[in-house]
Amino acid sequence: MERMEAEKHIVELQTLINQYGYDYYVLDKPSVPDAEYDRLIRELIELEEQFPDLVTPDSPTQRVGGAMLDMFEKVEHRSPMLSLGNAFNDEDLRDFDRKVRQAAGDEYSYVCELKIDGLAVSLRYEDGLFVKGATRGDGTIGEDITANLRTIKSIPLRIKEPFTMEVRGEAFMPKRSFEKLNKIKEEREEEPFANPRNAAAGSLRQLDPKIAASRSLDIFLYAIADLGETGVTSHSEGLDLLDRLGFKTNQERRKCADIEEVIAYIRGWVERRPDLPYDIDGIVVKVDSLRQQEQLGTTAKSPRWAIAYKFPAEEVVTVLKDIELNVGRTGAVTPTAVLEPVRVAGTTVQRATLHNEDLIREKDIKIGDHVVVKKAGDIIPEIVNVLPEMRTGEEKDFNMPEHCPECGSDLVRLEGEVALRCINPKCPAQIREGLIHFVSRNAMNIEGLGEKVITQLFAQELIKDVADLYKLTYEQLISMERMGEKSVSNLLGAIEGSKNNSLEKLLFGLGIRHVGAKAAKTLAQVFGSMDALMEASFEELTAINEIGGKMADSITAYFDMDEAQELIQELKAAGVNMEYNGPKPVSPAESDSFFAGKTVVLTGKLEELSRNEAKEKIEALGGNVSGSVSKKTDLVIAGEDAGSKLTKAEELGIEVWNEERMLEELNK
């Protein structure tokens, strides 16, 4: 394609893609199938790669997080970002209304908007192009977070008219994104975010914009800071203009004729707020007329023409009756508060996590204390603080034990961690979850041994560790509830068949901390047998590219334990395979396959092969299958219902295949 033709086609593609993105991310009304949107994005990426000088700042391909930042530059707001005064009850609202009437007379109206619980930001547009975004900061000086804000897909990179203007909004993390992020953090054994607001603020203040891009943030715009050339005369007109320019505003707003309508609107949202897909912490009430806003003026800190009604605090007082200790699958010992049952945010709360001993000390929590409880993010019960003035002298200090409360083994605090851990693989409290993990699909893959059956076996003391699975008899199983002859026969066959699994399946199933499925396969391929791995030194382990110091420490600590060595011997005696019997790893130099040396990510549901089967075939041809998409990824293979990984691949301009294309290449 010639340059002039390419330039014209790039503009056409950008216009189409921006419109389709607006329909999807702002209006929430997709106007074309995802496949068509994806096709246009790929076509634009290819053209921009051919003609890099034609890439414009407002191109849809420029939403991907760029290079790491060294620091955030300071930004002075052209007009201050004032905070709002607060109202906590109807009396406060009527007092605000009285002051408005005194200054503005009887002819006025209000606009009510949901107060989004996020991070206030300011966006600067010049001739319609987004050029700078900043945090509120102290209201006068904020921080330049333009790179992170560009990753929010509901922020237009170019608006529909060439205005030079500054607009204000609230960036936030939807509840669904928050739950997904915290799930990932829990899987990585990282401290979860307390609420979506903290998560949004933390995401936008990352020096690496790619982290912000991965967090699925959103925004609602709520004001135009400089109305000069717009001709707008009221706040409601300003919001309508923002809609027309392509911004995302909150459509739950309402114009109210008087303060009684405002109060009725607020009461409705007190009940309905849990149903929203994002958090709100109140209602903002503003005088609609801009002339009257100017007439009312501002104080040094806040406008006199607006107020924020804050919802009643979801905090209650109860008694901490006891502190129990829970031992998880990885051995982390977590203290949990046992509370006098109390109603918080619509549910009865009887327990709250205390995370670790350091938090208990920091908050000076004692057994028997009266404590203030809330739900972090209206979801997770937590203790806010104690009420020492209510102590009677009967309260008791709490100390973490030196030994595991379930098995008596010494508890250890690994370097760099706050939690105490039990690292005894035969600890009863860890066994149930460990057994469920051991029989799971990516581990020993024993069909018929689901969570319910494992729980039943464990409760009846038919199994105490994973080796006991291989000692189960027909007589034991047939006596169990809902176990017929065919089920028992199939289950015993599945258990017997799992003995032939390759070593990596067993290694992953053992649940050695920090050793995931990929690391287990690498270890199995390198050492070849369980015996060789058990004798490996720290230096031999860290000599492997994919094995870091933390994982090597975990592996050597595990196999140094007498209990672990005994467990391996029991599994050997049961006939469980201890050798690697998978395909010999092929180096890229030895393979002439397309996949040789490529980093591939599989996402979505495949029809012909399972994800694991596809992974094994690609790796057998010298490819490397990764679990996450990054700029180092060469290829993404997307099945049905592919989600965020596919989205990220498209944003990064990574080649995407469907399953049919993958099978063609595998069958060559």
At 376 the pLDDT is 58
Q: Is the pLDDT of residue 67 over 70?
A: no
The better pLDDT of the pair 283, 24 is held by 283
Q: Which residues are catalytic?
A: 115
Distance, in Å, from the CA atom of 525 to the CA atom of 455, rounded to the nearest integer, reads 33
At 457 the pLDDT is 92
Q: Is the pLDDT of residue 169 over 50?
A: yes
At 641 the pLDDT is 67
Looking at the chain, the whole-number percentage of residues with pLDDT higher than 90 is 45
- pTM: predicted TM-score of the whole model, two decimal places: 0.50
Spacing of C-alpha 514 from chain mean position: 20
Q: Is the pLDDT of residue 379 over 70?
A: no
At 587 the pLDDT is 64
Predicted confidence band of residue 625 (pLDDT cuts 50, 70, 90): confident
The better pLDDT of the pair 25, 272 is held by 272
Distance, in Å, from the CA atom of 321 to the CA atom of 179, rounded to the nearest integer, reads 29
Q: Is the pLDDT of residue 471 over 60?
A: yes
- The tokens describing 640, both together, are 């049905």
Distance, in Å, from the CA atom of 260 to the CA atom of 377, rounded to the nearest integer, reads 30
At 111 the pLDDT is 97
Which amino acid is present at 6? Answer: A
Give the mean model confidence (pLDDT) for residues 549-565.
92
Does domain 315-390 correspond to CATH entry 2.40.50.140? yes
Torsion of CA 560, 562, 563, 566, to 10 degrees: 110
Q: Is the pLDDT of residue 492 over 90?
A: yes
Please provide the CATH number assigned to the domain covering 588-666: 3.40.50.10190
Q: Are 554 and 514 in contact (CB under 8 A)?
A: yes
Q: What is the DSSP string of 40-71?
A: HHHHHHHHHHH-GGG--TT-GGGGS--SPPSS
Q: Is the pLDDT of residue 454 over 80?
A: yes
Instruction: Give kind and range of the element (H or E) at residue 333.
Output: strand 332-344
The answer to whether the Cα torsion of 463, 469, 474, 480 is positive or negative is positive
Torsion of CA 336, 339, 342, 348, to 10 degrees: 40
At 542 the pLDDT is 92
Give the mean model confidence (pLDDT) for residues 545-568.
91
Mean per-residue pLDDT over the chain, rounded: 87
Predicted confidence band of residue 314 (pLDDT cuts 50, 70, 90): low
Q: Are 578 and 570 in contact (CB under 8 A)?
A: no
The better pLDDT of the pair 377, 498 is held by 498
Please provide the CATH number assigned to the domain covering 428-573: 1.10.150.20
Give the mean model confidence (pLDDT) for residues 447-466.
88
At 367 the pLDDT is 96
Predicted confidence band of residue 377 (pLDDT cuts 50, 70, 90): very low
Per DSSP, the chain holds a count of helices (H) and strands (E) of: 24, 22
Spacing of C-alpha 606 from chain mean position: 24
pLDDT in tens, 257-271: 999 999 999 999 987
Q: What fold is seen in the domain 3-63?
A: Helix Hairpins (1.10.287)
Q: Which CATH class is domain 85-310?
A: alpha beta
**Which backbone phi and psi does 175 adopt, to 5 degrees?**
-55, -40
At 586 the pLDDT is 65
Looking at the chain, the whole-number percentage of residues with pLDDT higher than 70 is 95
Q: Is the pLDDT of residue 425 over 90?
A: no
Least confident stretch, 208-217, 477-486, 517-526, 637-646: 637-646
* Residue closest to 392 by CA, chosen among 374, 367, 373, 372: 367
Give the mean model confidence (pLDDT) for residues 50-66.
78
pLDDT in tens, 590-622: 677 888 888 999 988 787 787 878 888 888 888
Distance, in Å, from the CA atom of 536 to the CA atom of 551, rounded to the nearest integer, reads 13
Q: Is the pLDDT of residue 299 over 50?
A: yes
At 95 the pLDDT is 94
Q: Where do the structural domains in the chain lie, given as residue ranges?
A: 3-63, 85-310, 315-390, 428-573, 588-666
